[in-house]
Structure 1
Amino acid sequence: SNFITLEALDRVIGITSSRFLFNKEMKQRLKEGTTKKIGMEGNFDAEVIIQANPDLILISPFKRGGYDSLKELGIPLLPHLGYKEMTPLGQAEWIKCMGLLVGLESEAIARFETIEKRYNELLQLTAGVKKRPVVFSGELRGGNWYAVGGRSFLAQLFRDAGADYFLKDDTRSGGVTLDFETVYSQADKADFWRILNSYPGEFSYNALKAEDSRYADFRAFREKGVVYCNLRERAFYESSPTQPEVVLADLIRAFHPDLLPDHTPVYYELIK
């Protein structure tokens, strides 16, 4: 997302995955072979990497690893920890680091200042909201409900959008595994339900109920409060890290529509 924002995709000669790739320029680079697929964490293709001959490899050290084999190639490895940031602006600020690497530091600083200014303007909008709706997140997967703690990036985003996360008193910043009964006891009366998935086709309340009939018991289901992003249709992972102000605007539009009546959702929107 940083290189897309900086219009510096010509500096990217290898990527790990194109599963949720939307960017036309990068798709063309992959087709032409100017950018290579180098495998995935834990299973990198050393031969392809050697052929690409990068000056630097950005790594996510908390993912599946496999970096020992990369070290043997003698190419410098630089940890990119943007996704571990607990605030949206903190994540977006990593564009400065990426700009520095590719000689676009001033452009990166200017871009971040624009992001920060708009984000803070939106924060002022929600600062005085009289009613803070409650929002919960996640779905059941294999009998477990996967959510994140109350000190997480997502919880902060909800706070900034003028809402209260259903686990706001939880002190964890990472993933939290719950059972359905625990979630229902804390979220049955929540106003909104945030869902992010890659549903094949048009996601709807009927589709949600078909996954588990108990979903229909949530107030957010009954009163049509599902705030949804489909990863198959929207470039969430690709672009949202450098557009926190857009994500925030989407959530404000859903939680407090009177505050941003003219905003057109980009990532998240209420399912009708």
Structure 2
Amino acid sequence: MMKQFLYIGFIAILLGSCKQNRDQTLVETPETKSDISFDYATGLTVQNTETGIYVTVKKPWPDATKDYTYKLITASSQKRELIPEPDAGTIIQVPVKRIIATSTTHLAPLDLLGVEKSLVGFPETDYISNSTIRNLIETGNIQDVGINERLDVESVILTQPDVVIGYGVEGENPTYNNIQKAGIPVLFSGAWVEKHPLGRAEWIKLYGLLFGKQKQADSIFNKIKNDYLQAKELVIDLPKPTVIAGATWKDVWYLPYGDSWQGLILADAGCNYIYENTSGKGSLAYNIEQVLKDAQKADYWIAPGSYTTYSNMLADNQAYGQFKAFQQKKLYTFALKRGSTGGFIYYEEASMRPDLVLKDIIYLTHDRDLLKDYQPYFFSTLLP
């Protein structure tokens, strides 16, 4: 064990000698000093100042107690000088060329910006669905670097990333601290905490900064935003069908809160979600008797867990057959759309493409002439 730690330490020192000292800050003089605005995302701010671009990620998991600050520096800047900035936060040199992501939700921005080849490491690569990234995995260009949040520090160091995109669930992960001690910056993404559907998508602006593609990121987000708002407008004055969501897991039915990302999309799709007046963190958890009482007559059933067939649902719980939506075959699932290794495309792409989620639900729960020639991207009719 001691040899392993000494080996990791040696690698860290070796790599650190090849990189610019991250304890000193290059002060940049940007051509423009306007801050980047966020219309929907509440979890980050970007300030473009005399001394550089500062990114603050605000409490990136539900019970986080602090914010995280990052400073982006450009090595090619012609106007720079070394000034000690002890409170500058973590330094990240941009544009990023090599990146490690830790959640499949981090991959959609790379795909949209066309920088998939920058990905050099990912934990448990079997969950990745994107075909371009799968090809990079199969050709050995992307390394498996551990399991979820328990990254293998040695593997991370050997891939020589410019930054690791991390996330937290229940507190700081000591693995990330060890990675940063090796001189590799860790940037926490709090996109998944955002409740507004467009708020999560707006985090692509941060990736635009990291990869030197700010204008492209702005353009992509504006297109997603406009498509979302135009689709929402289609159903504002229409009758609202009632909708239920989720399914049971170990005798507990988990459903999204009304003020959650999923709940807000259902509302914007012109649906009357049975639990639309609820609010909170995580998921609602009821027994099936309670849901049957509340939602037996719901018109539609969206996202019944990972189920793909009516027969499997009945085999697991005969009570499902008592719901009107089940009887009338009005269940729609994302579980039929998977990558070549079984990962759900919805989990990977939906947070960055709320416009497509919204259009899918509108198409499936309203008059289909509203979106003529549209083909649902994520959702499909449940199979027999």
> So what's the TM-score if we normalise by structure 2?
0.66
Residue 143 of structure 2 corresponds to which residue in structure 1? 36
Instruction: Please state if 1:223 is matched with 2:328.
Output: yes
* Structure 1 residues 18 and 76: alpha-carbon distance in aligned structure 2, compared to 1, 3 A threshold: same
Q: Partners in 2 of 1:270 and 1:231 — Cα distance?
A: 9
SS in 2 for 1:169: coil
Q: Percent identity?
A: 28
Instruction: Please state if 1:112 is matched with 2:221.
Output: yes
Native 8 Å contact 2:337 2:378 kept in 1: no
Residue 241 of structure 1 corresponds to which residue in structure 2? 351
Instruction: Please state if 1:73 is matched with 2:178.
Output: no
Residue 287 of structure 2 corresponds to which residue in structure 1? 179
Q: Partners in 2 of 1:157 and 1:63 — Cα distance?
A: 26
Q: Which has the higher helix share?
A: 1
Q: Partners in 2 of 1:17 and 1:241 — Cα distance?
A: 20
Residue 37 of structure 2 corresponds to which residue in structure 1? none
Native 8 Å contact 1:14 1:36 kept in 2: yes
- For structure 2, the 5+ residue unaligned runs are 1-107, 339-343
Residue 125 of structure 1 corresponds to which residue in structure 2? 234
* Structure 1 residues 236 and 227: alpha-carbon distance in aligned structure 2, compared to 1, 3 A threshold: same
Q: Deviations over 1:180-208 (max 9, x none)?
A: 11111111111111125445xxx222222
Residue 83 of structure 2 corresponds to which residue in structure 1? none
Q: Partners in 2 of 1:257 and 1:269 — Cα distance?
A: 16
* Structure 1 residues 204 and 48: alpha-carbon distance in aligned structure 2, compared to 1, 3 A threshold: same
Residue 78 of structure 2 corresponds to which residue in structure 1? none
Q: Which has the higher strand share?
A: 2
Instruction: Please state if 1:208 is matched with 2:313.
Output: yes
Aligned partner letter, 1:11: S
Instruction: Please state if 1:255 is matched with 2:365.
Output: yes
Native 8 Å contact 1:196 1:231 kept in 2: no
Aligned partner letter, 1:253: Y
Q: Partners in 1 of 2:197 and 2:143 — Cα distance?
A: 30
Native 8 Å contact 1:20 1:237 kept in 2: no
- Which structure is higher in RCO with an 8 Å CA cutoff and minimum separation 6? 1
Residue 200 of structure 2 corresponds to which residue in structure 1? 91
* Structure 1 residues 59 and 169: alpha-carbon distance in aligned structure 2, compared to 1, 3 A threshold: same
* Structure 1 residues 196 and 38: alpha-carbon distance in aligned structure 2, compared to 1, 3 A threshold: farther
Aligned partner letter, 1:118: D
Native 8 Å contact 2:302 2:331 kept in 1: yes
Residue 248 of structure 2 corresponds to which residue in structure 1? 140
Q: Partners in 2 of 1:216 and 1:42 — Cα distance?
A: 39
RMSD: 1.8
What is the CA-CA distance between 1:20 and the residue it aligns to?
3.3
Native 8 Å contact 1:150 1:169 kept in 2: yes
Q: Partners in 1 of 2:134 and 2:153 — Cα distance?
A: 22
Q: Partners in 1 of 2:178 and 2:323 — Cα distance?
A: 48
Aligned partner letter, 1:214: A
Aligned partner letter, 1:78: L
Q: Partners in 2 of 1:197 and 1:33 — Cα distance?
A: 33
| Further displaced range: 249-258 or 172-181 | 172-181
What is the CA-CA distance between 1:240 and the residue it aligns to?
2.0
Instruction: Please state if 1:12 is matched with 2:114.
Output: no
Residue 46 of structure 1 corresponds to which residue in structure 2? 153
Native 8 Å contact 2:306 2:333 kept in 1: no
Instruction: Please state if 1:271 is matched with 2:378.
Output: no
What is the CA-CA distance between 1:9 and the residue it aligns to?
0.8
Native 8 Å contact 1:59 1:77 kept in 2: yes
SS in 1 for 2:371: coil
What is the CA-CA distance between 1:153 and the residue it aligns to?
0.5
Q: Partners in 2 of 1:188 and 1:42 — Cα distance?
A: 39
Q: Partners in 2 of 1:210 and 1:51 — Cα distance?
A: 48
Structure of larger gyration radius:
2
Aligned partner letter, 1:222: Q
> So what's the TM-score if we normalise by structure 1?
0.92
* Structure 1 residues 63 and 55: alpha-carbon distance in aligned structure 2, compared to 1, 3 A threshold: farther
Aligned partner letter, 1:135: V
- For structure 1, the 5+ residue unaligned runs are none
Aligned partner letter, 2:320: Y
